[in-house]
Amino acid sequence: MTGQSEYAYTIRQAAYDLRKLRGKHLVDKPSRSRRYVVPEHAARTIVGLVVLRDQVVVPILGGLRTDSDDDMRPTIQNAIDTHYETLCHDMRALIRDLGITTEGDMAA
């Protein structure tokens, strides 16, 4: 379920996750039922968060690993390319200011 076969997803973890989702009003439990229901507004929120993570956050963090190379930059940039570069630049600055390093950074 979590994509990590070496770790078992326990009943205790599922109960914790369900409590968190209920607290954020992303799932509801009808009275006297063992099933959970995802309200329409919550489904939109969940899908929006997943798309944001997969389409925005993961590519930006992936792009942070590589140094910006002027040869790979497109000659014609649109507004989205400019925003992406600004985000990468600001994320690098944030990571540096927070003192977050990787093993490769510590060796250098």
pLDDT tens figures, 3-58: 556 678 889 999 999 999 999 999 999 888 889 999 999 999 989 888 888 887 88
Residue 53 pLDDT: 85
Distance CA 40, CA 53 (A): 20
- The pTM is what? 0.53
Place of tokens 């002027």: 70
97 vs 64, residue with greater confidence = 97
Residue 35 neighbours by CB under 8 Å, 6+ apart: 29
For the chain, give the number of residues.
108
Distance CA 26, CA 13 (A): 17
Residue 66 pLDDT: 61
Task: Give the mean pLDDT of 68-86.
Answer: 73
